[in-house]
Amino acid sequence: MQEQLVYHQPKEEESMRIPGLTMLVALIAVALIGCGGGPKSLESASECDIPDWYSTVPQDPNYLFAARTAVSQDMQLALDKATTDGRAEIGRQTELKIQGLQKRFDEEVGVNADAQLMSQFTQANKTVVSTSLSGSRVKSQKLCKDSNLWRAYVLVEYPIGAANEALMQQIKKNNEMYTRFRSSQTFKELDNEVQKYEEWKKQQQAPPEQK
């Protein structure tokens, strides 16, 4: 009986193909990671190094700042969580600022003694806080790897002038508040701050040669 010959691929040839395929996959992965400005995968992200603006939150008489951080398995969700927390803190700071003005108005015109006026001012406060939530913006952000999670650092800012402007608009829209407040020193100072903010906005919008 004639012996049937069975051919086997040499083992050394198989071992050569596997590293070659691995090398090809690695090169493709490197090329994909190289596209774009930031890390596209957790594996390509650098380990966390806390940014200076998070360790020491900026101080500026014209701005409110909030630095927040959040973690998630999803990169965008980590950014969204940190941004939401930052905007909530901006809203809290805005509310405290308006409450300070309310105290000054009360000392001059007796806001707390008038239930209707108090209610109107409280509603105006809520509107201003809501405006700060939507008007705040992310000034700086950083993404990094924290163990097996994404960590996002976010710095949110909001101009104090915008809060003053929003409050002034609410006061002028309400005849009773405007009538009671307009002769007070607090109102005059608030109006002055709003005018400064309007001038600043005009300068920012002007062409570079006119600044």
68: enclosing H helix or E strand: strand 63-72
Q: What is the DSSP string of 13-28?
A: HHHHHHHHHHHHHHHH
On the CB side of 204, CA atoms within 13 Å amount to 6
Q: Which of 102-106, 111-115, 129-133 has the lowest mean pLDDT?
A: 111-115
What whole-number distance in Å separates Cα of residue 13 and Cα of residue 154?
53
pLDDT tens track for 171-198: 999 999 999 999 999 999 999 999 999 9
116 pLDDT band, cuts 50/70/90, is: very high
What are the structure tokens assigned to 165, written together?
A: 């402007």
Integer Cα distance of 155 and 142 in angstroms? 9
- The CA distance from 89 to 158, in Å, is 11
Domains in the chain, CATH or no CATH each: 42-196 (3.10.129)
Supply the pTM of this predicted model.
Answer: 0.75
Report the b/e string of 117-133 with b at 16+ CB within 10 A. Answer: beebbeebbebbbebbe
pLDDT one-digit tens code per residue, 56-70? 999 999 999 999 999
DSSP state, residue 37: S
Please report the pLDDT score of residue 195 as a whole number: 95
CA end-to-end distance (rounded Å), the chain: 101
- Give the mean model confidence (pLDDT) for residues 10-30: 42
